[in-house]
Amino acid sequence: MPSRLHKIQITITLCLLAQMLLSFQLWLPRTRSFPIIPAFDSIPISNVASSSFLILGIFIGSLIMRLFLKNNKWLFFVSIIFAVLLIMQDINRLQVWFYQFIIMLILIGGEKRLGRNVVIGNLQFILIAIYIWSGFNKLGVYYIEDTFPWLMEAMTPLKSFGKIRFLAIASALFEITLGIGLLFKITRRWSCYLVLVFHLFILLVLGPFGHNWNQVVWPWNICQIFLVFFLFYKTDFVSLSQLSRPAPVFVVILLLFGLLPAFNIVDKWPDQLSFKMYSGAYSECVLFAPAKDGTCFPDHKAVYTGQSPKASSEFSLILDDWSISELGVTPFVNIRFYKRLGTQYCKCLDYDPNAGIELLTVDRWNRTNEGYQRISCKELKNQK
C-alpha cells in the first residue's frame, strides 16, 4: 500500500505529464512558429530545438523512475537539474503549475532527510498560500468587471450573475476563505468539501460544456482536489514548531509562496509565480506589421486588420491568442520578456520600421491608470 506522500507523488507526476502532453509544442519546439525565449540572452536559441527532445526525455524518464525508486538520490537530482534546464531553454515553460509541482516534488524527494511531517507541513503551506494569493489577486477591477462576467457567460443560467459586482468580490473572498479554512481543525473537513465544489465548478466553466478553453489547466484542477484531500482531510495541520525545525527549508517555502508574491503588487515579482490565475490584471503584448507574413507574422485566425497611427493598414495579433492556440499555455507575463520576444520577431522581419509591438500595462485597482506604449522594430533594435 503506497504511503500518503507516495500517493501525492503519483498524483503530481500524472498531472504534470498530462499537462505537458496538452502543451506539447511548448516542450518540443521544432515545428512551432511562436518564438523561443530562453531565460537568459546568453543562451543560444539554435541549440534549444535540437536539444529539447533529449532534455525532455531525460526529465520525463527520471520522473517516472522516481515513482519506483523513490529513495534514489541520483534520480532526484537529475529530475531537478533537467526541470531547470527546460526552463532555461524557454522561459514560457515557467508556468504556475510547473513551478508548483516541481517544488512539491523536490520536497517529497527530501522526505528521508527532512522527515515526513516536515514535508507534509510544507506541502500544506504551499496549497494554503496558493488559495489565499489566488483569491487576493482577484480583488481587482479587471476580475470584477471582465473575468468574472466572462466566466459566468459559460453557463446560460449564470450569465446574469456575472454583472453583480458583489458576487465577483464574494467569489474572490471565497477562494481566500478556502485557504484559511484549511488551517483550522474545526473548518478543515468542510474546506475540503468546498475545494471539491470549487474546482468542479471551474472545470464546468472552462471545460467542454463551458468555454472549452485553456485545456492545460483542466488536469491541474483535478490534481488540486486530490492534493487537498491527501494533505488535509482527516489530517492535522503540522505545527509551526515541527515545520520550522529544518529552518532553511521552511524559510525558502515561506519566501516563495508566502512573501514574494506580495512584490507582484508593485511589479517586482512575476505574475506566474504570484498565483494570479484568472485575475485579469495582466500586462499584454500585441504584435503589429504592415502585412501578414507566413514566416514571421503568423496567419492566425485571431489576426485582425486595423489602422496604424499614420492611418495606414496594418495587421495585429495579441500575443496571448497566439501562445494559447499554438503552445496551449498563456505566455510568460513580463515587460522585459515582451521586448525580448519583440526583438526576435523584428529580427525575422529585418527590423521593419513599420512593425513592432504594443504594450499594455495595467493597475489592478484603477482602470484609468492603464499604460500604453507602441515600440517599433527600429526602436527595439536601438534598445539592444
Is residue 167 situated within a structural domain?
A: yes
Same domain, 258 and 296: no
Is residue 253 situated within a structural domain?
A: yes
171: its cell numbers = 467569489
> What are the C-alpha distances in Å from 36 to residues 27, 341, 346?
10, 8, 14
Is residue 99 situated within a structural domain?
A: no
Same domain, 166 and 315: no
Same domain, 193 and 329: no
Same domain, 258 and 316: no
> What are the C-alpha distances in Å from 79 to residues 20, 69, 90, 249, 251?
15, 13, 17, 19, 23
Report whether pLDDT(124) > 90. yes
Looking at 273, 304, 330, which one is the last position of a domain?
A: 273
Calpha distance 380→384 (Å, rounded): 7
Q: What is the average pLDDT across 187-195? A: 95
DSSP codes, 150-187: HHHTTSGGGGGGGG-HHHHHHHHHHHHHHHHHTTSHHH
DSSP codes, 26-47: HH-TTS--SPP--SSTTS-THH
Report whether pLDDT(174) > 80. yes
Is residue 38 situated within a structural domain?
A: no
Mean pLDDT of the chain: 89
Same domain, 140 and 262: yes
- Share of residues in the chain with pLDDT > 90 (%): 58
Say which amino acid occupies 9: Q
Looking at 253, 273, 293, which one is the last position of a domain?
A: 273
What are the φ/ψ torsions at residue 269 (nearest 5 degrees)?
-150, 140
Is residue 108 situated within a structural domain?
A: no
Is residue 11 situated within a structural domain?
A: no
Would you place residue 100 in the very low, low, confident or very high pLDDT band (cuts 50, 70, 90)? very high
Report whether pLDDT(113) > 70. yes
Same domain, 299 and 268: no
Summarised one tens digit per residue, pLDDT across range 337-352 is 999 999 988 888 888 8
Is residue 5 situated within a structural domain?
A: no
Give Cα 345 distance to the centre of its chain.
Answer: 23
Same domain, 188 and 321: no
- Share of residues in the chain with pLDDT > 70 (%): 93
Instruction: Provide the residue range defining the domain that includes 153.
Output: 114-273
Domain count, the chain: 2
101: its cell numbers = 509541482
Strand ranges (DSSP E) for the chain? 284-289, 304-307, 313-318, 356-361, 371-376
Report whether pLDDT(242) > 80. no
Is residue 93 situated within a structural domain?
A: no
Same domain, 360 and 247: no
Summarised one tens digit per residue, pLDDT across range 282-322 is 999 999 888 766 667 777 767 777 767 775 778 888 899 88
Same domain, 267 and 291: no
Same domain, 138 and 208: yes
Looking at 245, 273, 301, which one is the last position of a domain?
A: 273
Same domain, 309 and 248: no
Record the pTM: 0.93
Measuring CA to CA, which residue among 304, 265, 218, 253 is closest to residue 128?
253
Cβ atoms of 104 and 123 within 8 Å: the answer is: yes
Same domain, 263 and 288: no
Would you place residue 126 in the very low, low, confident or very high pLDDT band (cuts 50, 70, 90)? very high
